[in-house]
Amino acid sequence: MNSAPNRITKLDGLRGLLSLIVALNHSFLVVAIPAFANVWHQNYLDFYSFQSKVQQLFMILGNGGVAVSLFFVLSGLVLGQSLSRTEISPKGLLAFYAKRVIRLYPVYLFVILLTALYMRFGFYYRIFPHASTWFLWWLNFEMSLHEFFYNLFFIHTYLGGVTWTLRVIFLASLILPAFYQISKKTSWWTDLLFTAGLVYASFTILNFENFRDFRYLYMFFLGLILPKFKNFFARLPGWYIKLTLPLSLLLLLLIRYSTDEYLGGVVESIISWKIIGLISYSDKTKLFDFLNYAVFQFFGRISYSLYLIHFSILYMLSRLMFIWLPNLPYADNYLAIHSVLFVLSLSVATLVSLLVYRWVEIPSLTLSKRVGEYIIKS
């Protein structure tokens, strides 16, 4: 939502919060928990010690899967708003696609270039005895020019822990104009039926082996159709929102740990749709007012850069930790170590993201607008 008078600042704060959640999630996955080779998606009922319970609480609050579901639904809403201002014509669509690529790609290029240079000069893959299998999975390949170009064009997404989501967003951006045209001619109940069809397709015809990107299309479509439900959310009584929201948030945070990534993702998307709808269109509750706090607005501004950059910073710092401090009591103090990693990596990533936001992201945004205007006028 680019027009200042209509900008929903709470959605900016939501982006900031989600970027922090993803950073928290990854920071608490680095060190192996004794008796659990991989804490990723570990059932929260399977931890018994006090330290592991607190660790799991942080992982539930920092649920990266939930953050991604919210990001995708929110992206569908924002893309729909952008398409509402776009002339659906060859020039209009070319301008839309050009603006998306120019807006998003430079930060991605910075991240993969940074990671590739890191791997090329002085890096060699090592197995650390106290690292989780999640951490050991990353960067376990030889960096070459061939591999760099594979990542450059999204054939692979190995150079950054969240870069796969950017490929999903690019593919969704390519398809969403068609969805937008469909939704312009349909009623709200038809849209819900179409969403159900996309959900079913995500488990069947869109469930390609080793390529899951199209499985998330229904999330973007849910965000796209949100404006049709503006009056629905505006009419919801305050007592109903206050009664159901805590239960919705609890289910949102726990469902993936209780089921799996894809079934949990469906429930997460429905609840995300509700939350974003309430933030955008309801004035019956002040429960989301905290998203306007300065800290969330700050992280909201740099959220895209931070979201892409934080993983590379975390990986580099964690690797230095395992190399320089091999005798740390990892097994007995993983909670404290994860907490320090979160604060340290977030601090460094925030500083780097500020620079990238100033010198890469803002110029990219300005250029994308100019190119879009040039295409339309030419």
The tens place of each residue's pLDDT in the chain, 378 residues long, gives 334 446 799 999 999 999 999 999 999 999 988 755 445 455 556 656 788 778 888 888 888 999 999 999 999 999 999 999 998 899 999 999 999 999 999 999 999 999 999 999 889 999 999 999 889 999 999 999 999 999 999 999 999 889 999 999 999 999 999 999 999 999 999 999 999 999 999 999 999 988 999 999 999 999 999 999 999 999 999 999 999 999 999 999 988 877 888 999 999 999 999 999 999 999 888 889 999 999 999 999 999 999 999 999 999 999 999 999 999 999 899 999 999 999 999 999 999 999 999 999 999 999 999 999 999 998
Q: Are 350 and 306 in contact (CB under 8 A)?
A: yes
Q: What is the C-alpha to C-alpha distance for residues 231 and 234, in angstroms, rounded to an integer?
A: 5
Buried b (16+ CB within 10 A) or exposed e, 183-205: beeeeeeebeebbeebbeebeee
Q: Are 161 and 308 in contact (CB under 8 A)?
A: no
Predicted pLDDT at 46: 64
Q: What is the C-alpha to C-alpha distance for residues 369 and 347, in angstroms, rounded to an integer?
A: 31
Q: Are 28 and 55 in contact (CB under 8 A)?
A: yes
Q: Are 31 and 131 in contact (CB under 8 A)?
A: yes
Determine phi and psi for 36, rounding to 5 degrees: -130, 105
Residues contacting 338, CB < 8 A, separation 6+: 27, 28, 30, 31, 55, 58
Read off the tokens for 216. 């998330």
267, containing H or E segment: helix 261-281
* pTM exceeding 0.75: yes
Q: Are 13 and 300 in contact (CB under 8 A)?
A: yes
Read off the tokens for 26. 């990854």
Predicted pLDDT at 47: 59
Q: Are 1 and 85 in contact (CB under 8 A)?
A: no
- The closest of 217, 308, 223 to 262, measured between CA atoms, is 217
3-state secondary structure of 194: helix
Q: What is the C-alpha to C-alpha distance for residues 178 and 182, in angstroms, rounded to an integer?
A: 6
Determine phi and psi for 211, rounding to 5 degrees: -150, 100
Cross-strand partners of 36? 33
> The dihedral of CA 350, 321, 62, 138: what is its sign?
positive
Residue whose structure tokens are 């974003």: 276
